Structure 1
Amino acid sequence: MFDFQIKAQCPNTNARAGCFVTPHGRVLTPRFMPVGTLGTVKGVSSSQLAETGAQMILANTYHLHLQPGEAVVHAAGGLHKFMGWTGPILTDSGGFQVFSLAQLNKIDDQGVSFRNPRDGSHIHLTPEKAIAIQMALRSDIAMAFDQCPPYQATENDVEDACDRTHHWLERCIETHDQPDQALFGIVQGGCFLHLREKSAQTVASFDLPGIAIGGVSVGEPIKEIHKLVREVAPLLPEDRPRYLMGIGTFREMTIAVANGIDLFDCVLPTRLGRHGAALVRDERWNLKNACFREDYQPLDQTCTCEACTTYSRAYLHHLVRSGELLGLTLLSLHNLTNLIRFTNAIRQSIIEGCFSEDFAPWKSDSKAHHTW
């Protein structure tokens, strides 16, 4: 039910344009995936989301387990029917959220024990439980349960986290038995390249339908992300989709694509929208600023989203300054459309053989002069 084919490659870089086929449709890569943590991309309906050009979206195992519970979603017919989304869905295992958000009580080789931040109840999350939740959610892609160490962790702690991640992956594979759901493994290792290389080789050896690079954008300098992607991506199977978790800025996505990455996700576009900010090409505009008060131009004349084709900057400024929810929704829609347009343009440039000319300058400190 799953197939990944590379349709074009850039001769001067490792950039590739691919097609990932899932039970709920195909995903054309490189591709930015909107984050719908609780089965909703914040402030945006599923029909509005489809208008942004989104193909695959994310939801989160940890949050959906806490509310409403996987049994409720399963009884509704799975996450697709529950949220009214017909395209592919990827569910994160919840590992990052457990280690970054929850009040941990205990972590060992069996799993993680923590207090439910909603009601204080005790929860024990194991690799088997994380996979069982995702199978109940019936997502297209399930992520393996992993341990994501913080940036400040010592080399010994990161090595222990890698070993635990690999052991947990074995248990995830043993538990997972849903043929219409693909299981992806996750590479960990912090900023220690030798641990990253070992993790990449170990995870790749399980011959899974896809593989992700996790544990990035957790506080490390951006140059560290560039370095580890450059070193790790070539170690991953060429015939499987490669997913860089938690990255969604123009420069970082471009550099990652040049190193062979296919999929991205980030909460940035909707988070910015909820704070009154718009992504216009590769710039961030604060629509609260007074300079937009009597600016009757479209937000971006080249953009096809509802915010740009129907309303002016002055109107968006008015909505944001007034605290109207419509303004936050429109900016979120625009930001999502902007990032998806960008990855679409990258894909087209790879197919047309001009990726190096139009986008590769982002590998330096200068901005690319592209035509998208």
Structure 2
Amino acid sequence: MGLVSIEGIHVALPLKKSIKHASHQRTVSDSLIVRVTLDDGTIGYGEGVPRSYVTGETIETALDALETAEIARQLESPSDFETAVNRIAAIRLPSIQNDPRGMFGNAARCAVEIALLDAYGRRFNRSMSDAVRQLLSGQSYLRARPGPVRYSGAITAEGARKERISAWKMRIYGFQHVKVKVGVTGQDDPSRLRRFRKILGSSMDLRLDANEAWAADELLERIAPLRESNPSALEQPVPHRDVERLAELRPQLGIPVMLDESLCGEPDALRAIDAGLADLFNVRLSKCGGIAPTLRLIDLAVQNGLGVQLGCHPGESGILSAAGRHLASNLVGLRYVEGSYDRHVLAENLTAPDITFRYGGRALPLSGPGLGVAVQSAPLEQMTVARRELAP
């Protein structure tokens, strides 16, 4: 069952409200949707979220990377699902010069990997969870069977009134974990955290995400007043250019440090482990290159005693939400899980049925072949910005 066509589709997903953090602000989310067709007519969809300020990618560079990857040659014609999964996991995009972090093309690889797993899952009537379980075979952190997922909530940087409403929603909705965006210019973070702690209660696991907001030289001063709110983790406090400074600063912070923008590929992970830069890794499918590369990063974290957050890209569609669900529902020991915010964030989605998490951030494993969700043609057409037929 060979691959006969690949189409790259640039979509602009409308957000219900602006998403703001220290690095960026957006009212729409641009995604790369990849549509693959097998020689029996089976179709699969995947998604990547190229972000120039994370992996250096744009929609155009992601499409260019796929154009020259010779995916069909790497796949050949697998005769069964297991062979297809192994070959998809081994797919490599052409390397480029000056990419020491192994990250350029990660969103493109993620999109085509998910599309192929979706297509071959449908062709052989197998779930993407089966692919995840095959790739995790023998690992101690593989669940005995796919199980429920507990997602965390998030409070973005908004005005005081809106933030209070968000905090009350988190409490009323029964979340156990909440992430707060900090470091945005003009925000009084110590006061914000005190307000949140009063609303959320002392038992809420409250963690912080700075999105590279602070220079290394000011980090200790910035963090000192935030510790009184007892945060459980601090995500990406410094820009990537300063990340090596965390080797000296991390022991003085009094808060476990999580890497995000500085964790995009295996070289990043190995450097962080060797230099002692982090206590936790935030892995995201698009940022890290898809399911197979993400699992390799998780394994490095587990083997070296680091915690793992399975994150997401704000504004991703139900395609990446579903792929993340398949991963999370088969893993034990994840410290935090983000994703499936679909109807809470998107004004309109690409997929059905709705897989947004329920009360308390709870969600069940997905069933059915492939991703377990279907891409709807009408919203896809409505949100399409541009299309490109790619050489398979």
Shorter-chain TM-score: which interval? 0.3 to 0.5
Larger RCO: 1 or 2 (CA < 8 Å, sep 6+)? 2
Q: What TM-score comes out, normalization by structure 2 length? A: 0.45
| TM-score for both structures, normalised by structure 1 | 0.47
